[in-house]
Amino acid sequence: MPEVRIEHISKHYGDAPVLHDFSLTIHDGEFFTLLGPSGCGKTTLINLVAGLDHIDSGEIYFDERQVSTLSPKDRDVAMVFQSYALYPHKTVAENLAFPLRVNKQPKAKIESEVRRVSALLGLAGLLEKKPAEISGGERQRVALGRALIREPAVFLMDEPLSNLDAQLRVQTRAEIKQLHRTLKRTTIYVTHDQDEALSLSDRLAVMDRGEVIQVGTPEEIYRAPAHLTVAKFIGSPQMNMIPGRLMPGTPLQVDVGSTHIAVCSSELPEQSMEPEPREVIVGLRPEDIRVQQASKGQGARVLDIEHTGSRVWVDLVWGDHRVKALAAGDLSITRDQLVALDIDPTCLHLFDTRSGDRLP
């Protein structure tokens, strides 16, 4: 399985630059996700890797092989499309067999491969059906099978789950993960769904406006988002963003409206010890703020309570800000009640107000 190296590529559509001097390395056998809002260039990137589009400049390597100018059939990639893109005039079996048939494989091999893949994906009963006659989930698996059958060097998936309903999506997600564990193919997966990205990936790249903002394991990206954009994009419910001031002194304190929070980070650099207060954005994940019965001190007013089954989220007005926080299931609170907030100071994320960069 090759390592995929994308080196300094640029792509413009008309006058609009989509990718500019873009570089990224995807390791051998890795499940790598491109995560970002629509229009961030992730689909363009996967098309360029597949060879469905020409790059304006830069190079793509599969190991030492330069593939930038090769046509898709010479790159040994397979792709699963969001729309599945099954051939409507062919049966499931013919759809699965198509990549092998185009490749002029012997008939016997095609038949045994179709049998193998359909067994792997539980499609054996559907082989004679046309795509229009099977369900969305089944179509999805046929699309996967058609990509699998050729045993490609690189696997590309362009939002393969976004047309499925919620339950099926979670189930298929698990199947994809299982498949990757078995086959160990280098996989590039495109999605705008952070849950998919976090649960599937070995590593992921968070993209925005044609740039990679952060690359890392799901854990790293969740624990230490490198930029405000990443922080906003990862985590559900979304991270609370509160403008504040980093006060000099020991211990460091963040001044948030009427309250101060001590910062227990030993990693804050010396420069933040500068005498002047510094404008920052304080990021607090809702799950890191605990709602407690008020005794005194930090007061926040309950705006709304949202039960999601396992968890109870509470919308609060805290000073001049609205925040979301987590309440213990057995806590009895009502709207407009005043509550206290318990904040773990190790879980603070600080970002520079101007650049949006994380303050370590």
For other proteins, which stretch binds (CB under 8 A), given 74-82, 200-208, 239-247, 262-270? 74-82
Nearest residue (CB) to other proteins, 88 versus 249: 88
Pick out residues in 177-206 that bind other proteins (CB under 8 A).
none
> Would you state the structure tokens that stand for residue 201, as one six-digit string?
């990936």
Query: Where is 327: in which H helix or E strand?
Result: strand 321-327
Q: Among the residues of the chain, which ranges form H helices?
A: 42-50, 92-102, 107-120, 136-148, 166-183, 194-200, 218-223, 228-233
> Would you state the structure tokens that stand for residue 270, as one six-digit string?
């010396």
- Interface characters, 53-72, with other proteins (x: CB under 8 A): ------------------xx
Phi, psi of 207 (to 5 degrees): -115, 150
Q: Is residue 42 a contact point for other proteins (CB under 8 A)?
A: no
Nearest residue (CB) to other proteins, 141 versus 245: 141
Q: Find residue 349's DSSP bridge partners.
A: 283
List the one residue out of 360, 36, 31 whose CA is nearest residue 230. 36
Pick out residues in 136-165 that bind other proteins (CB under 8 A).
146, 150, 156
Question: Which residue's structure tokens are 């920052």?
Answer: 280
For other proteins, which stretch binds (CB under 8 A), given 23-31, 81-89, 251-259, 274-282? 81-89
Q: Minimal distance in Å, beta carbon 114 to other proteins?
A: 14
- Could you write out the DSSP letters of every residue in 234-251? SSSSPPEEEEEEEE-SSS
- Kindly tell me the sign of the dihedral angle through the C-alpha atoms of 201, 207, 212, 214: negative
Other CB atoms within 10 Å distance of the CB of residue 336: 9
**CB 49, CB 6: distance < 8 Å:** yes
Q: Is residue 107 a contact point for other proteins (CB under 8 A)?
A: no
Q: Which of 1, 19, 40, 50 binds other proteins (CB under 8 A)?
A: 50
Nearest residue (CB) to other proteins, 176 versus 252: 176
Q: Is residue 109 a contact point for other proteins (CB under 8 A)?
A: no
Amino acid letter for position 246: L
Q: Which of 1, 34, 60, 79 binds other proteins (CB under 8 A)?
A: 79
Q: Is residue 88 a contact point for other proteins (CB under 8 A)?
A: yes
- Interface characters, 293-332, with other proteins (x: CB under 8 A): ----------------------------------------
Q: Minimal distance in Å, beta carbon 138 to other proteins?
A: 17
Give the separation between CA 288 and CA 265, rounded to whole angstroms: 15
Q: Minimal distance in Å, beta carbon 148 to other proteins?
A: 12
For other proteins, which stretch binds (CB under 8 A), given 30-38, 45-53, 222-230, 317-325? 45-53
**CB 118, CB 169: distance < 8 Å:** no
Q: Minimal distance in Å, beta carbon 93 to other proteins?
A: 15
Residues near other proteins, by CB under 8 A:
47, 50-52, 71-73, 77-79, 81-89, 98-99, 102-103, 146, 150, 156
